[in-house]
Amino acid sequence: MLDPRLTIIGERLKSIGQIIVVSSGKGGVGKSLIASTLALILARKGFRVGLLDLDFTSPTTHVTLGVRGLQPSEDKGVVPPEVHGIKYMSLIFYLGDRTSPLRGPEISNAFIEMLAVTRWGSLDMLIIDMPPGIGDLMLDVLKYIRGARFLIITSPSRMAFETVRKLLTLLRDLGAEIIGVIENMKMEDSAHIRREVEALGERFLGEIHFDGRVENALGDVDALLKTDFAKEIEKILEENVMWR
């Protein structure tokens, strides 16, 4: 059966310059923190940025951004509220403190619905924060979001990288565009991950160290942007031409 929402999704996303999907396969490696900080940095640089939190189990970007009591408004669709210069959409608007007891096809349906109703308008970049896992949602993103580019996050752990390697292989097999890999929460010098990434023929974009000041800065974007964590993201942005 033809789903009319599919055509609408194309319409909704057509005025977006770049769609960057922050993913890993692995949880707890810093996807959400990096996605939200990246959105903040780009917004401060004057780009028109959107941030979409797609974590159906536990969205968290609102914590980083200090979002409280906001709701999107409705006007021929759902209009994302603006937070610190970012057009922001999250499942938290619909879930509140509950988690979503959704099965695979229902998640897929909710995802399509969200893309079909959200009016991003004109954006330079839309950043999508993905949940952990290499499953249906990843396949849905590939299927419904044309031109999505993947920014992959790993930790220095060989265990984390085993999952990341699988994700990279899957994305390549499916012909997805991979921007490259960022190594986050680095504590010790080691070129292990860089070598692994380069051996796979992918771009190693840079590393971000573990920064003990981050936790206290969550919810306070000015403090967050002053951390070494944010500075290192900015450096990675400057060193790579990916967002120019």
Q: Which parts of this chain interact with Mg ion (CB under 5 A)?
A: 31-32
C-beta separation of 51 from 158 below 8 A: no
114 residue type, one letter: M
Q: Is 23 in the site for ligand ADP (CB under 6 A)?
A: no
Contacts of 147 (CB under 8 A, 6+ apart): 18, 19, 177
Long-range contacts of 225-231 (CB under 8 A, 24+ apart): 225/37, 225/40, 225/41, 225/44, 229/33, 229/37, 230/37, 230/40, 230/41
C-beta separation of 102 from 86 below 8 A: no
Question: What distance in Å separates the CA atoms of residue 134 and residue 128, rounded to the nearest whole number?
Answer: 15
Question: Please, which residue, 12 or 26, has the CB nearer to ligand ADP?
Answer: 26
Question: Please, which residue, 81 or 133, has the CB nearer to ligand ADP?
Answer: 133
End-to-end CA distance of the chain: 40
Which of Mg ion, ligand ADP, none sits in contact with 30, Cβ below 5 to 8 A by type?
Answer: ligand ADP
Using CA atoms, how far residue 96 sits from 58, 115, 238, in Å, is 10, 19, 36
Q: Is 211 in the site for ligand ADP (CB under 6 A)?
A: yes
Residues 43-82 that bind ligand ADP (CB under 6 A): 60
Tokens of 212: 């003990």
Taking CB under 6 A as the binding criterion, the range among 144-152, 163-171, 172-180, 211-219 that sits at the site for ligand ADP is 211-219
Which of ligand ADP, Mg ion, none sits in contact with 48, Cβ below 5 to 8 A by type?
Answer: none
Q: Is 32 in the site for ligand ADP (CB under 6 A)?
A: yes
Which of ligand ADP, Mg ion, none sits in contact with 33, Cβ below 5 to 8 A by type?
Answer: ligand ADP
Nearest distance from C-beta of residue 186 to Mg ion, angstroms: 19
Using CA atoms, how far residue 22 sits from 4, 122, 177, 179, 202, in Å, is 27, 20, 12, 10, 16
Draw the binding track, 89-128, toward ligand ADP (x: CB under 6 A; -: no contact).
----------------------------------------
Q: Is 210 in the site for ligand ADP (CB under 6 A)?
A: yes
Q: Is 133 in the site for ligand ADP (CB under 6 A)?
A: no
Residues 135-194 that bind ligand ADP (CB under 6 A): 184-185
Q: Which residues bind ligand ADP (CB under 6 A)?
A: 24, 27-33, 60, 132, 184-185, 208, 210-211, 214-215, 229
